[in-house]
Amino acid sequence: MRRLPCITVFAALVVSAAFGAPSAHAVPEPNLRTGPQPPPFPGPEPAPGNAHGNGPETAPGNGEESARENDAGNGPESRMRERPHQGRQAAFARAARTYGVPESLLLAVSYLQSRWDAHGGRPSVSGGYGPMHLVDTRTAASPGRHRDDHHGAAGTDPRGDETRPLRVTAPRPAARGDRVPPDTLHRAARLTGISPARLRLDPAANIMGGAALLAHHQRSGGGRPDAGPAHWYDAVARYPATRDARAAAVFADEVYATLRTGAARVTDDGERVVLRPDPALTPAAPAGRAEAGRTDRDARAPRRLALRQETRGRTGPDCPRGVSCEWIPAAYRKLGRGRYGNHDRYEGRREIDYIVIHDGETSYDAMTRLAANPAYLSWHFTLRSSDGHIAQHLRGQDVGWHAGNWYVNSRSIGLEHEGYLARGGAWYTEAMYRASARLVRHLARRYGVPLDRAHILGHDNVPGATPATVRGMHEDPGPYWDWEHYFELLGRPLDRAARAPRPALAALTALSGRRPARSVTILPRYAVHRPHFTGCGGGSRPCPPAGASSVWLRTAPADDAPLVRDVGKHPTGGSSHSVYDHAARASTGQRYALAERRGDWTAIWYLGQKAWFHDPAGARTSVRARGPVVTPRPGLASVRLYGRPYPEASAYPRGVKRQRPVPLQYRLPAGQRYSLGLTRRGSHLHAVTFDPSKHRLIRGATRYHQIQFGHRVMFVRAEDVVRLRS
């Protein structure tokens, strides 16, 4: 063998250190999905392997019998006490043996509910607790308002078009119209004899309760308790207790897809859990898929009424396969005095650049009623938390009133998710994440929308159209939306290949002669990244520690340095740690131009200033990125920022009021760089009448670049800047 020169050996070692060393979250088992990656849809299947974990039927018959077993030291609580420190994987094995549920099936059901996370004993937005998402109806999402400061607050215009201003106040929906989800937590308490409080707070007890529910569904459906995983389809479909047959079947299909592909990850409380794949597993012919979601109460009802079947309107819903979807049309009606609502119809094929992610700050049923109110607002889809069920309200070519910026409204599709930005740190469910990702993938293919953070926007990334609207722009879905996991579900995982120790990367750069990266993508590890927030319970009280997608930005590389300022959001004061204040935050997936690195800190260009975030080598919160950046062209001290691309005056036909270009409060100084997301010519949809045949789309020739200027995207005129490669 030829001896390698020393420099070559050193280079090989550097490359190995930079790209080959396993991280603390790496999965040593081959062919298993790692970290927070669920089975893709569709996607390749890993190599064979199996772990059914069948056990005898030992489930207690009722809560009283179970309580006697526990008092005698033989019940599920005593089994948990015998081995309190063996971890989550062992808890699944114990629960599976106790209730005769295949261990792999129990793992897969839990993965589809919570990805095995405990969430610190806090409920989901639909009132579900723990790894098995046991629902307590007393803490389920209340009907509430579609929060006034979410849409139409403080004088803001959710339509975002000063040529036809709109002011709305959310009506208070009637609570009696909401369907209350089945209380599976107290049913599990009766089946196991474990107290409801412990089922909420103790992950091992919660898993025991979920196993008892699955075994109960298997028995009540006539299934054999000792059957292998292939024979539990109906029991799995009953588990989420949905009354929608399609939603129940979708959940069961997802569970069996997870069984085939396997999964492995480290949970939010540091527990390592592995589900080995079984690629050949196929559910046996179910006893009756049409009745998959029947509950005990349903069994006493006429079968044709037991489950709510998907309904379709005149057009039918435009949803992908593999989701439960129905058509609930938004209102389109004249309101008098030239007013109409609650959206604009569009003739022809609309150009779509964005898909905007919202949370509704109220329940699914309340949102679907509001969408049918002609005096309110509109969006295209509403997603339910408990089972991922989808309602479509608008055709894709029609314009919803949801983003607060008319340019974005006219070029986007809006998705409202049942949930709350900061109700005690409550979490978004896996069922809703998956349904949303399927829908977005479908819409992105149909309308040619790239799957990146320049096109898949949160409502909190949409800019104010004019200076007067900047302060009132909305904050949802907020820092608790897991963008990293969402993009994995979208099939576009955010790049972690560059998550290498900084010295190794520096040495590799020196050897290769390559220049350091000019931009970075924000990418904290959601489950373990728990920044300090305030205001979840009102006032300035601290929020419960929870995984988050945001990093704080400071004026200097120090933990006690002030947060950076946002002159548009806070004209006379500083930024705050409020969960509702995005002024000094960057979010997962957003790409920024790199300004400097110093020790464990990284600086980016942000709102016209250098902004520092903690980015230590052992727990990186960003990765190197590639992509174009822009900087002011030579000779300009700074350039103006805009909330939308304006057509030039000559583009407007006679009789159509011109939108005069109004720059925002911000400036991009010379010497700074910002990432470029897309380029468009100025345009404006003039739609101020009920009759869509009178609408006019004004197309200009002036080109604008969309850049990541702060937490929100903004626009610069292409002629004012120089585009650079990164």
| Among candidate residues 295, 416, 409, 428, the one with its CA nearest the CA of residue 353 | 409
pLDDT of residue 227: 84
> What does residue 102 show for φ and ψ, rounded to 5 degrees?
-55, 130
Amino acid 86: pLDDT = 72
362 Rama sector, left if φ>0, alpha if ψ -120 to 50, beta otherwise? beta
**Domains annotated on the chain, with CATH:** 63-137+193-304 (1.10.530), 310-489 (3.40.80.10), 502-626 (no CATH), 638-724 (no CATH)
State how far the Cα of 535 lies from the Cα of 539, in Å rounded to an integer.
5
Residue 321, number of CB atoms within 10 A of its CB: 9
Residue 76's pLDDT is what? 55
Q: Judge contact between 91 and 80, C-beta under 8 A.
A: yes
CA 471/CA 64 separation, integer angstroms: 57
The pLDDT value recorded for residue 421 is: 87
Name the CA radius of gyration of the chain, rounded.
27
CA angle (609 as vertex; 604, 613 as ends), nearest 5: 40
Residue 66: phi and psi, rounded to 5, are -65, -40
The backbone region for 563, taken as left when phi is positive above 0, alpha when psi lies in -120 to 50, beta otherwise, is beta
Q: 261: part of which helix (H) or strand (E)?
A: helix 245-261
Tokens 């809703």 belong to: 432
311 within 8 A of 327, measured Cβ to Cβ: yes
> Are the CB atoms for 403 and 352 separated by under 8 Å?
no
pLDDT of residue 75: 53
Q: Which residues touch 656 (CB under 8 Å, ≥6 apart)?
A: 686, 696, 698
pLDDT tens column, 663-698: 999 999 999 999 999 999 999 999 999 999 999 999
| Cα dihedral sign, 316-320-325-329 | negative
| 608: region left, alpha or beta (phi > 0 left; psi from -120 to 50 alpha) | left
Q: What angle do CA 642, 698, 442 make, to 5 degrees?
A: 80
Which amino acid belongs to residue 27?
Answer: V
Place of tokens 């750069």: 509
Interval 50-109: pLDDT, tens:
333 333 333 333 333 343 334 334 455 545 543 444 799 999 999 999 999 999 999 999
- DSSP H stretches of helix in 372-425: 406-410
- What is the pLDDT, as a whole number, of residue 619? 93
Residues paired with residue 698 on neighbouring β-strands, in sequence order? 684
pLDDT score of 318: 94
Quote the pLDDT of residue 47: 32
The alpha carbon dihedral of 620, 624, 628, 634 has a sign of positive
pLDDT score of 102 = 98
Q: What is the structure's pLDDT at 177? A: 55
Q: What is the pTM of this model?
A: 0.83
Contact 683, 645 (CB under 8 A): yes
| Mean pLDDT, contiguous 10-residue spans, the chain (726 residues) | 39 39 35 37 32 35 37 47 68 98 98 95 91 88 47 58 70 57 93 98 98 96 87 96 90 96 94 97 68 39 34 68 94 90 92 96 91 93 94 97 96 95 78 96 98 97 96 92 97 68 44 61 94 88 92 98 97 94 98 98 98 96 96 98 97 91 98 98 95 95 99 98 92
Give me the pLDDT at residue 32, please. Answer: 40
In the chain, DSSP finds a helix count (H) and a strand count (E) of 17, 26
Q: Is the peptide bond before 477 cis (omega within 30 degrees of 0)?
A: yes
